[in-house]
């Protein structure tokens, strides 16, 4: 039998509740506090059992969420748990998956190596940006693609055109569009590695009168999606909606999306929700529950 441990990061609670309901495992809330000097502290009262499933999303402040996740692994190992699974619906640092400029770290590899060293035997996340990055995790690492599940929940179908905002995102869009029997394409995006500025180049797409869905893993500043939406509406798209795994929505991202003319953003519940009529959250915890069940029963 396994126990679900609800981590302290904002956004973990609802996800942990969803998992515990779908899997019928007991839920234990980790106690946490911050020492007067700013250091994190956690404590778990559970066990001894064989398996613990920690739910800790890497919401802001990401570094605290990360350190709490490390501490939870050690706490559970200390209690005698043999298998400690981390469900991190959003895993921060995933986009720095290579040295874009000399002197940079491969941040996601550092994060994944540290999580294995701290004691996690398994890691499950939603859309890690580049699946290859998971090789840095020593145990069983799984990235779950949420898009088809989300599209079916919402009722997005083959009547829409699905677009990747850059060629790197094409595979995920292709997989989704094929599953839905829909048309798909990609835009040409360039990002200045120093300033972070995004330009989307005009590429002729016949979107006149069409309903378009932009599919991306993350909306952070909103720069990528708002530029893509503007371009598509200029090219005659009837409406532009967005399907995204992680709605970070930093700074004035929501305003940018609204003024770009985006009709709706469908986001997975991997992070604490923002309140806006533009947004609709889809609970993907049942999808993760299925995968947890299969790894624990040795199916994958
Ligand atoms: C980039 O490779 C990602 O897939 C997203 O397109 C990007 O991180 C979105 O960031 P922003 O919202 O700041 O443009």
Q: Is residue 203 over pLDDT 80?
A: no
Distance 172 CA to ligand 1 centre (A): 14
The answer to whether the CB of 173 is under 6 A from ligand 1 is no
Which residue has the CA at smallest separation from atom 3 of ligand 1? 218
Instruction: Give the per-residue pLDDT at 191.
Output: 76
Q: Is residue 299 over pLDDT 90?
A: no
The minimum-distance atom of ligand 1 relative to the CA of 129 is 4
Q: Is residue 17 over pLDDT 90?
A: yes
Task: Report the alpha-carbon distance of residue 56 to residue 32 in Å, rounded.
Answer: 13
Q: What is the mean pLDDT of the chain?
A: 95
Percentage of the residues of the chain whose pLDDT score is greater than 90:
89
Q: What residues are paired with 41 via a beta bridge?
A: 33
Instruction: Give the per-residue pLDDT at 198.
Output: 74
Instruction: Give the per-residue pLDDT at 148.
Output: 98
The minimum-distance atom of ligand 1 relative to the CA of 189 is 6
Instruction: Give the per-residue pLDDT at 35.
Output: 98
Q: Is residue 195 over pLDDT 90?
A: no
Marked catalytic residue, from 138, 189, 211, 256: 189
Q: What residues are paired with 189 via a beta bridge?
A: 200
CA dihedral 63, 69, 72, 77 (to 10 degrees): -130
Task: Report the alpha-carbon distance of residue 296 to residue 300 in Å, rounded.
Answer: 8
Instruction: Give the per-residue pLDDT at 206.
Output: 87
Where does the pLDDT of residue 202 fall: very low under 50, low under 70, confident under 90, or very high at 90 and above? low
Token pair belonging to 89? 């619906």
Instruction: Give the per-residue pLDDT at 192.
Output: 80
Q: Is residue 251 over pLDDT 70?
A: yes
> Which residue is it, tokens 């399907």?
243
Q: What is the pTM of this model?
A: 0.95
122-179 residue pLDDT tens: 999 999 999 999 999 999 999 999 999 999 999 999 999 999 999 889 999 999 999 9
CB distance 257 to 265 below 8 Å: yes
Instruction: Give the per-residue pLDDT at 196.
Output: 76
Task: Report the alpha-carbon distance of residue 30 to residue 265 in Å, rounded.
Answer: 32
The answer to whether the CB of 95 is under 6 A from ligand 1 is yes
> Catalytic site residue 211?
no
Instruction: Give the per-residue pLDDT at 197.
Output: 78
Nearest alpha carbon to residue 124 among 109, 111, 107, 139: 139
284-298 residue pLDDT tens: 999 999 999 999 987
The CA distances from residue 71 to 54, 86, 239, in Å, are: 11, 12, 46
Q: Is residue 54 over pLDDT 80?
A: yes
Task: Report the alpha-carbon distance of residue 76 to residue 82 in Å, rounded.
Answer: 9
Which residue has the CA at smallest separation from atom 8 of ligand 1? 218
Domains of the chain in start order, with CATH, are: 2-145+285-296 (3.40.50.2020), 147-282 (3.40.50.2020)
Task: Report the alpha-carbon distance of residue 138 to residue 152 in Å, rounded.
Answer: 33
59-95 residue pLDDT tens: 999 999 999 999 999 999 999 999 999 999 999 999 9
Where does the pLDDT of residue 204 fall: very low under 50, low under 70, confident under 90, or very high at 90 and above? low
Quick one: three-class SS letters along the chain?
CEEEEECCCCCHHHHHHHHHHHHCCEEEECEEEECCCCCEEEECCCCCCCEEEEECCCCCCHHHHHHHHHHHHHHHHHCCCCEEEEEECCCCCCCCCCCCCCCCCCHHHHHHHHHHHHCCCEEEEECCCCHHHHHHCCCEEEEECCHHHHHHHHCCCCCCEEEECCHHHHHHHHHHHHHHCCEEEECEEEECCCCCCEEEECCCCCCCCCEEEEEEEEECCCHHHHHHHHHHHHCCCCEEEEEEEEECCCCCHHHHHHHHCCCEEEEECCCCCCCCCCEEEECCHHHHHHHHHHHHCCCC
């Amino acid at each position: 039998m396994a126990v679900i441990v609800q981590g302290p990061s904002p956004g973990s609670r609802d996800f942990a509740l969803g998992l515990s309901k779908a899997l019928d495992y007991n839920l234990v809330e980790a106690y946490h506090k911050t020492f007067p000097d700013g250091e994190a502290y956690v404590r778990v009262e559970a066990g001894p059992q064989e398996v613990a499933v920690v739910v800790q999303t890497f919401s802001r402040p990401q570094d605290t969420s990360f350190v709490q996740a490390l501490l939870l692994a050690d706490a559970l190992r200390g209690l005698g748990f043999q298998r400690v699974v981390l469900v991190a619906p959003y895993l921060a640092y995933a986009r720095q998956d290579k040295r874009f400029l000399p002197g940079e770290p491969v941040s996601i590899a550092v994060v994944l190596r540290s999580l294995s060293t701290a004691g996690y035997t398994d890691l499950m996340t939603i859309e890690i940006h580049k699946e290859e990055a998971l090789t840095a995790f020593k145990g069983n690492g799984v990235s779950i693609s949420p898009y088809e599940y989300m599209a079916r929940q919402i009722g997005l179908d083959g009547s829409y055109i699905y677009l990747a905002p850059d060629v790197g995102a094409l595979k995920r869009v292709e997989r989704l569009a094929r599953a839905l029997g829909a048309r798909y394409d990609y835009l040409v995006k360039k990002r200045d590695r120093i300033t972070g500025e995004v330009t989307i180049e005009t590429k002729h797409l016949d979107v006149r009168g069409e309903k378009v869905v932009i599919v991306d893993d993350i909306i952070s500043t909103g720069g990528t999606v708002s530029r893509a939406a503007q371009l598509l509406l200029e090219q005659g798209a009837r409406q532009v909606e967005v399907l995204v795994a992680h709605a970070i929505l930093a700074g004035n991202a929501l305003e940018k999306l609204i003024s770009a003319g985006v009709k709706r953003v469908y986001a997975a519940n991997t992070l604490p929700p923002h309140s806006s009529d533009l947004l609709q959250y889809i609970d993907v915890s049942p999808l993760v529950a299925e995968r947890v069940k299969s790894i624990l029963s040795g199916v994958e």
